[in-house]
């Protein structure tokens, strides 16, 4: 018997193109702003050096009540913590991205462990596997991923997972990890497709939806956004990357997470306010945001 999840997903895929596939993004300007949480940002990156404070102020004005700034290496993790110290609504995750897996040493792991002592560090990430660019050898990526999963288990923290062209190995690692103290997390900027959704959900993980959900041809991603349980969805920007329509081609920023929420709402045929509230509640539950 076919899984009810897969049947539901297939029906959504078939109807997505005609309903919403080519619909343009709506304006984020509203008289009443529904609170949102950007669950994945990189505000410490150099793309924001010229106007970081203005970007953060625009996020407040757009109704963001929290931003989780994600580390990608030791220096970025330190910068994420510094931003969290400076701004009351910014929180941090610390970790080493698979691109830099070759830098993960026992000393670096100890440094990450020390950073976690900060009360605004809420997760280990961005960690995982990237077989698309292969900027670190795959065996090195797998070892660094395993070491950081172990660190998250030791510290009882959720994980923020990067998975690109490596879904089989990522999910295999997470299956071994589930049941440890950390036990949960999010597949950020989800790209594993509708066919892997049931497996990811069975592991207890959240699904991070980012800017590509607004792209005209992203019907499979909209199908995921429509089929996943609402209480397992997060919205994110991954800024400065993955800028949603109508700003595609420019630098992304946290204020644009509202376009992502709008696209998810259209895919689910429900009010934007309900998606904003649910995804904010989910982020609070996953990360322990006050």
Could you report the per-residue pLDDT of 66-118, keeping only the tens digit for each?
A: 999 999 999 999 999 999 999 999 999 999 999 999 999 999 999 999 999 99
Reduce the DSSP state of residue 190 to 3 states and report it: coil
Token pair recorded at residue 185: 């997390």
10 Å CB burial of residue 46 (0-12, 13-18, 19+) is exposed
- pLDDT of residue 18 exceeding 90, the answer is no
Q: Is residue 6 part of a domain?
A: no
CA dihedral 196, 133, 37, 205 (to 10 degrees): 30
Q: Is residue 5 part of a domain?
A: no
What does the alpha-carbon distance between residue 183 and residue 21 come to, in Å, rounded to a whole number? 35
What does the alpha-carbon distance between residue 168 and residue 28 come to, in Å, rounded to a whole number? 37
Q: Is residue 1 part of a domain?
A: no
Number of residues that make up the chain: 290
| Peptide bond before residue 240 is cis, with ω within 30 degrees of 0 | yes
Q: What angle do CA 88, 65, 286 make, to 5 degrees?
A: 95
Q: What is the CATH number of the domain that holds 116?
A: 3.20.20.140
Q: What is the model's pLDDT at position 83? A: 99
**Is residue 94 a contact partner of residue 113, using CB atoms and an 8 Å limit?**
no
Q: Is residue 17 part of a domain?
A: no
Total domains in the chain come to 1
What does the alpha-carbon distance between residue 47 and residue 81 come to, in Å, rounded to a whole number? 18
Domain encompassing residue 212: 35-287
- Round the average pLDDT of the chain to a whole number and report it: 91
**Is residue 206 a contact partner of residue 185, using CB atoms and an 8 Å limit?**
yes
Q: Is residue 115 part of a domain?
A: yes
Q: Is residue 193 part of a domain?
A: yes
Q: Quick one: what percent of the chain has pLDDT higher than 70?
A: 89
Q: Is residue 11 part of a domain?
A: no
- Residue among 30, 70, 20, 24 at smallest CA distance from 240: 70
- pLDDT of residue 182 exceeding 90, the answer is no
What does the alpha-carbon distance between residue 201 and residue 231 come to, in Å, rounded to a whole number? 11
- pLDDT of residue 9 exceeding 50, the answer is no
Q: What is the model's pLDDT at position 202? A: 94
What does the alpha-carbon distance between residue 259 and residue 262 come to, in Å, rounded to a whole number? 5
- Residue among 120, 36, 107 at smallest CA distance from 71: 120
Q: Is residue 169 part of a domain?
A: yes
Interacting residues of 173 by C-beta distance below 8 A, sequence separation 6+: 129, 142, 145, 146, 149
Q: List phi, psi (to 5°) of 283.
A: -65, -40
């Amino acid at each position: 018997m076919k899984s009810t999840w897969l049947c539901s997903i297939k029906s959504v895929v078939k109807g997505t193109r005609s309903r919403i596939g080519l619909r343009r993004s709506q304006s984020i300007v509203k008289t009443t702003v529904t609170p949102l949480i950007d669950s994945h940002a990189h505000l410490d990156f150099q793309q924001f050096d010229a106007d970081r404070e203005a970007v953060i102020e625009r996020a407040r004005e757009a109704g963001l009540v929290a931003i989780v700034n994600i580390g990608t290496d030791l220096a970025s993790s330190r910068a994420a913590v510094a931003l969290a110290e400076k701004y009351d609504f910014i929180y941090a995750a610390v970790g080493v991205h698979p691109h830099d897996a070759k830098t993960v040493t026992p000393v670096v792991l100890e440094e990450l462990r020390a950073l976690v002592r900060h009360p605004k560090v809420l997760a280990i990430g961005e960690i995982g596997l990237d077989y698309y660019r292969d900027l670190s050898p795959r065996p090195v990526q797998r070892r660094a991923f395993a070491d950081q999963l172990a660190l998250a288990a030791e510290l009882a923290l959720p994980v923020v997972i990067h998975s690109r062209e490596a879904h089989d190995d990522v999910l295999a690692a997470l299956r071994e990890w589930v049941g440890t103290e950390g036990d949960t997390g999010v597949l950020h900027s989800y790209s594993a497709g509708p066919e892997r959704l049931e497996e990811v959900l069975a592991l207890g993980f959240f699904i991070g939806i980012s800017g590509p959900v607004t792209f005209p041809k992203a019907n499979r991603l909209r199908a995921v956004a429509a089929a996943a349980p609402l209480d397992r969805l997060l919205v994110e920007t991954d800024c400065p990357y993955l800028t949603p329509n109508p700003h595609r081609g420019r630098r992304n920023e946290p204020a644009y997470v509202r376009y992502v929420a709008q696209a998810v709402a259209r895919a689910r045929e429900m009010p934007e306010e309900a998606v904003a509230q649910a995804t904010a509640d989910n982020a609070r539950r996953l990360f322990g945001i006050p």
